[in-house]
Amino acid sequence: MKIAPSILSADFSELGAEIDRVTQAGADWIHVDVMDGNFVPNLTLGMPVIKSLKPKCKIPMDVHLMIEKPERYIEEFIAAGADYLTLHIESTSVLEKSLLRIRELGCKSGITLRPKTSIELIKPFLHLVDLVLVMTVEPGFGGQSFMSEQLDKVRVLNSWRQQKLGNFLIEIDGGVNSQTAPTCVEAGADVLVAGNAVFKGEKTEQNYKLNMSQLR
Ligand code: DX5
Ligand code: ZN
């Protein structure tokens, strides 16, 4: 099981150092939440911040786009340093083309959906993705509580994967903590995003290591 700390819960005044601490503490990926104040009611960061963090980041950057018409910025996010680029199915009318473009540019492609969106809508795109992200909170904010009924989607994805409908990792995002993490893994998740559960408490490598060991 991989852990992808979400820097949404990190100290934004020292993002480079925060990435360094979680990396030293054993994080597998860095999860970057991009919000445009339109697709979700919150604003975070964009390509320039990713670009400046990239040289400091020694592990894969997993970029979760919560923006309208993400196709406008695919090239720029990949040039800035995204290793995985994940799009919301609700945010674009040109999903297939966008996923193909992501792969064509040498980046791993991901697809995700809001809690209210049916997992069946993802099925036609499975062969085009390296990652399916299941949201276990409404996208927009860290620190919300885990929607356990969303794990049914993980079970369905896992069975589709066993039926060879695609070759993708399953990632879970939202409300992951030491109580909910075991249920995620049991359902079939490979990657757990965690914001608050990793960045809570003291800003030290040692504390982040402890927080992640509690997840594992
Ligand atoms: C929510 C974001 C999440 C969020 C998770 O829209 O996609 O990545 O940062 O934070 P926690 O783990 O605190 O729920
Ligand atoms: Zn996210």
Give the model confidence (pLDDT) of 58-117 as tens digits.
999 999 999 999 999 999 999 999 999 999 999 999 999 999 999 999 999 999 999 999
In terms of DSSP bridges, do strands 131-135 and 30-35 run parallel, antiparallel, or are they unpaired?
unpaired
Give the residue from 113, 60, 68, 64 showing the smallest Cα distance to 86. 64
Residue 30: predicted pLDDT? 98
Cα torsion through 179, 169, 61, 184, rounded to 10: 0
pLDDT at residue 6, as a whole number: 98
- The preferred substitution site among 30, 84, 112, 141 for testing ligand 1, maximizing ligand atoms within 8 Å of CB, is 141
Average the pLDDT over 107-132 and give the result. 98
- Looking at residue 113, its pLDDT comes to 98
Q: Which two tokens stand for residue 29?
A: 């990926």
| pLDDT for the residue numbered 23 | 98
How confident is the model over 10-38, as a mean pLDDT? Answer: 98
User: CB of 5 closer than 6 A to ligand 1?
Assistant: no
State the pTM of this model. Answer: 0.98
* Distance from Cα 125 to the centre of ligand 2, integer Å: 20
> Is-contact 111 92, C-beta < 8 A?
no
Q: Tell me which residues are annotated as active site.
A: 33, 173
CA 122, CA 6: separation in Å to the nearest integer? Answer: 24
The percent of residues in the chain predicted with pLDDT above 90, rounded, is 100
Dist. CA 55–CA 214, nearest whole Å: 29
| Pocket probe mutation, ligand 1, options 6, 66, 113, max atoms within 8 Å of Cβ | 6
Q: How confident is the model at residue 177 (pLDDT cuts 50, 70, 90)?
A: very high
Q: Which amino acid is at 86?
A: T
Which ligand has the nearest atom to the CA of 195? 1
**Residue 174 three-state SS:** coil
Instruction: Enumerate domains of the chain plus CATH numbers.
Output: 2-215 (3.20.20.70)
Sequence-ordered list of residues with C-beta below 8 angstroms from that of 131, at least 6 positions apart, any chain: 62, 84, 86, 108, 109, 110, 111, 168, 169, 170, 171, 191
